[in-house]
Each structure stands twice: as structure tokens, then as C-alpha cells.
Amino acid sequence: MLTLFKNAEIYAPRYLGKTDLLTGGKSILCIAARIEPPEGLDVEIIDCSGLMLVPGLIDSHVHITGGGGEGGPASRMPELHIDRMIEAGVTTVIGCLGTDGITRTVESVLMKVKSLRAQGVSAWMYTGAYQVPPPTITGDVAKDIALFEEIIGVGEVAISDHRSSCPDMKELARIAAHARVAGMIGGKAGIVNMHMGDAINPFVPIHEVVACTELGYKQFLPTHCNRNSYIFEDSKEYGKKGYVDITTSSYPYYADEEIKPSIALKELLAAGVPLNHITFTSDGCGSLPGFDPETGKLVKIEMGLPSSILRELKEAVLEDGIPLEQALQVATSTPAEILRLAGKGNLREGYDADILVLDTTFNIVHLMAMGKFL
């Protein structure tokens, strides 16, 4: 069946004006000011007058098999259910392991990726976890990336955090170098997703790798860059050279510590960080723990939700004055470009028909993934 969206305000994410869009199979077939239904074919027509049509969102940091565990077995978070993606307007996820790369496995993440794909959405993953050496399927991060189509990089590798393996510069450089070469061989991003902890000067390990090797800042994608005021201030300079990922789920659970994501985007842009260096991710199904600074004991825990991305995009536009075509990029075209997700993140002819239709208050009206309505 063909689907024709009529009279939509289309953001691709670049604003295209009031435009029609035709899909067929899994793809976008045509975008034009006026498209007439092809004669003799079965066409579903959706009138989108007064609605915004944007790319399906990309959430590139999700604990799809569940995260957590810092407070013992009862603190393990559940795996991602596709309903969480649908309610969030998310059509693509990147799965990862986090703190628990000990009892949770890379193999289970791979099978969850396959499960999500079988349900009609798009999914990829990172090999590894917080730990160094990283847990893998083949015993080598490079082989995992080169051999498995679903694996695009390594992560989330923890640094500057009391839960990390405290890797030295040589260990981080070796992981990043292997990921880079494997990415070249496998046609992948080969990037290293970095969990940034609460230590002072948290970017120092990455600076050391770049200073002592031929690797560049864009080999790394550090996340949780809004977790406290000092890492966020460092991000304003770091982001001019490399990528910074803002975690949307932690706010408002940790409003006294976290920089609100919509405000973080506004301040990063004001500081001169290029828009195509900034991404939003939810840390969905991951734990959001709080630790006593004196004893190190877990004192509270929450769970990340993919829906937090759309919430913060809405507030960035409606409350913080960021144009929609700019705000959208942090969860559409930018992660697609950084992670080399072909056919994703943009509304273009020949691209995958991942389409989110919103009303003017950002309520979801329609959601299509790979040409099928969710």
C-alpha cells in the first residue's frame, strides 16, 4: 500500500513548508508541494492540515535489555518494550550495556536488537559495557564490529566514575583504535560511546588519548554531559572539538544536580558548540542512581524513559525559543550522521519511511516506522 500525507508542515528536519509526502513499501517515494494519488493503486490518504511531520526520533543510548543493579538484584531495570518507543515517537534505537556487563551479556543485547527489528522498528547496538576489557561476543571488540551487521561501535565505556574500571590512557586508546579500524573494515561508525562520571575534569582521559595518539575527538561520543554543572561547563569547550550527548531522562528526577536538557541545548549553542556536535538520548531503561557522597551507598534510583526526548524537544521549542528545525536535529539528523545510520534521520526521497506526525503542542498523532503505522 501507498500512503500519502497531505498538507503537512514538514520539517525534514530542515523546514520545507506545507508539503505532501508519499511513501511506499519501506521508503519515502516523493516529497512535493502537491502530490496526486497515483491512479489504479491502493493509496491511503492522511490529511495533515495543521500538523507537523518530522523524522521518527533516534534514541542512540538505550539499555534495551535493562540496566541498573547498583542496589542489588531488586534494582535491576526491565528491558525495553516496544510500547515505550511508540509513546516516545522513537523509530530507531541503539542498544548498550551499562554498569552490569557482568551478569548481562552482549549476546542478549544482540538478540533484543533482532527482536525489535522483527517488530518493525530499527535497532543497532554497541558491544562492550562499563568494564575494561569490554565484554564481547567474539572476544575482540574489533571482530564484533566488523562481523556483526547490528554492532556499530563500543560502549558505554565508563570513565571518571567510581563504577568504572579506571582504564588508563593506553587501554582507552587501544579500544578506540580497534573500534576505528573495525569500523573502516565493516563500513560502520566504529565510535566509542563513553559514560561520563562525576569526577572533576571528567574529559581528561579523552584529552590524553587525543594528545598521545593519532585518534581524534570525534572517535568518541561522551554521554551524560549535563549530569552536573562542572561537566556541563567543560562540555561547552569540549563540544567545539568533539561530540557531546545530553541525557534527557535524569531531569526532573535530579533537578538539583542536572542541567535541564532543553536549557543545556540553548546554552551549548550560545557558547559556540556546533549544532551537529550535539545529541539528545534518553538512557532509556537504564538506572538513574543517586549515591551518598560520603559513604558511596545507593540512596535512590529511578529509570530512564525514551519519552523524555520528545518532552525536552517540546520545551526547547515552546519554552526556550529554539527553532524546531534546529531542536529536531539533536535526535534525528545528527545522531544518524555521527553513527552512520543509512537512510535515517532525514525526510528525503529514498530514505526509510520513519515518520512522526505531531500537533502544535507536540502530541503524537501518527507514527510510522519503515513504512508501517505503529
Does residue 20 contact residue 29 with C-beta atoms inside 8 Å? no
Per-residue pLDDT tens digits for 142-169: 999 999 999 999 999 999 999 999 999 9
Neighbours of 30 (CB within 10 A): 14
59 is a catalytic site residue: no
Q: Which of 296, 294, 327, 298 is nearest to 313 (CA)?
A: 327
Rounded average pLDDT over 261-289: 96
What pLDDT band is residue 255 in, cutting at 50, 70 and 90? confident
Rounded average pLDDT over 224-236: 96
Q: Tell me the average pLDDT of the chain.
A: 96
What pLDDT band is residue 338 in, cutting at 50, 70 and 90? very high
Q: Look at domain 2-54+346-373 and name its CATH class.
A: mainly beta
Q: Which of 237, 187, 233 is nearest to 207 (CA)?
A: 237
Please tell me the number of Cα atoms within 13 Å of 26 on its side-chain side: 9
Rounded average pLDDT over 198-206: 95
pLDDT confidence of residue 295: 83
For the domain spanning 57-338, the CATH number is: 3.20.20.140
Rounded average pLDDT over 87-109: 96
Distance between CA atoms of residues 49 and 30, nearest Å: 18
Task: Check pLDDT > 90 for residue 9.
Answer: yes
Rounded average pLDDT over 209-226: 97
Distance between CA atoms of residues 159 and 151, nearest Å: 22
Q: Where are the domains of the chain?
A: 2-54+346-373, 57-338
Q: Do domains 2-54+346-373 and 57-338 have the same CATH topology?
A: no
Rounded average pLDDT over 321-346: 98
Distance between CA atoms of residues 176 and 306, nearest Å: 28
DSSP characters for 286-340? -EEEEE-TTT--EEEEEE--THHHHHHHHHHHHTT---HHHHGGGGTHHHHHHTT
Distance between CA atoms of residues 364 and 354, nearest Å: 14
Q: Break the chain down into helix, strand, coil percent, rounded to 5.
A: 30, 30, 45
Catalytic residue (choose from 100, 144, 283, 352): 283
pTM value is 0.95
